[in-house]
Amino acid sequence: MPRVACIGECMIELREQANGQLTRGFGGDTLNTAIYLARLGVSVDYATALGDDGWSDEMLASWKAEGVGTDLVVRLPGRLPGLYVIQTDDKGERRFSYWRANAPARDLFALPETDALCHALVRYNLIYFSGITLSLYGEHGRERLFEAIERCRASGCRIAFDTNFRPSGWPDRSSAKSAYYRAFGSADILLASQEDLELLFGNSGAAEFETCLNIQERILKLQGPACRVAGADIDTIVETSPVAPVDTTAAGDSFAAAYLAARLADRSIQEAARIGHWLAGIVVCHPGAIIPSSAMPEKLRSELSHLFRENSA
């Protein structure tokens, strides 16, 4: 069974209802991906830092209940996790507001435990991180992360980078661009979106995707219900049927999970993209980042689990 480590931050999630009331949950882009990976039968651990408070305890309990491993979680006494609020418009598009400046996850690569964490990451078959992951750390922390990633690659681990970009997480565009270029040079799998690239690079966003020829697998999610898949011997568009979204939160996170799970089960790049569209199309028809377990496509989970068992035999 292949092992995956997802790196990032989980925050307290408050979702605003139409009547102004708030419902509480937990979420974060790479954490969402980790949960969907686990639901699809992948062995996955989450790497982050939490406090020693009751909310952090709840997070850990909920991850374990979902099958997400917590061996890579560092607990920091006296600290509290970050918080964000989701507001959704009548088209299902969401807006995020964050309170996270002192969140423990921001110190993950500047702790006494950091060396042990970096050495532990070498044991995994795939490391997944995002642009939001990069925005958590200062320059020193990002350097420690990239050093760990290079050691993992040298040991045969594959690296997947998702371009998920939030301008509010960065002091300036120059810092973000520099970090993204470093990530592009470190990745084996690129999960990009046209929206992210244009938001960060402006009109040259599409051109940045074209320059990433060193990356073995490149996925570009387009504005419509389709994505472009590119690799050594493929460059094509994979379309999907449009849906009427209720909430687009975690659309990209769930796509990434299904795509990576399919690739780990030796599905082709095109088939993996179709599977990514399939799960994302289900997720956006439910409110919140994590849909009920009962809404997961059982056929997909069964098929992937069967392939994992065959490949491990």
Query: 160-208 pLDDT, tens per residue?
Result: 999 999 998 999 999 999 999 999 999 999 999 999 999 999 988 889 9
Q: How is the chain split into domains, by residue range?
A: 3-189+247-312
User: Choosing from 29, 45, 162, 253, which is the catalytic residue?
Assistant: 253
As a whole number, mean pLDDT of residues 15-19 equals 84
pLDDT digits (tens, 9 = 90+) for 256-289: 999 999 999 999 999 999 999 999 999 999 988 8
The secondary structure element, H or E, covering residue 64 is helix 54-66
- Does the annotation mark 233 as catalytic? no
| Secondary structure of residue 290 in the 3-state scheme | coil
- Quote the pLDDT of residue 300: 84
Answer whether 43's CB lies under 8 Å from 66's CB. no
Share of the chain above pLDDT 90, in %: 77
According to CATH, what is the number of the domain 3-189+247-312?
3.40.1190.20
CA distances from 92 to 15, 86, 95, 180, 283 (A): 13, 11, 10, 28, 12
Weakest-pLDDT range from 83-97, 112-126, 180-194, 206-220 = 83-97
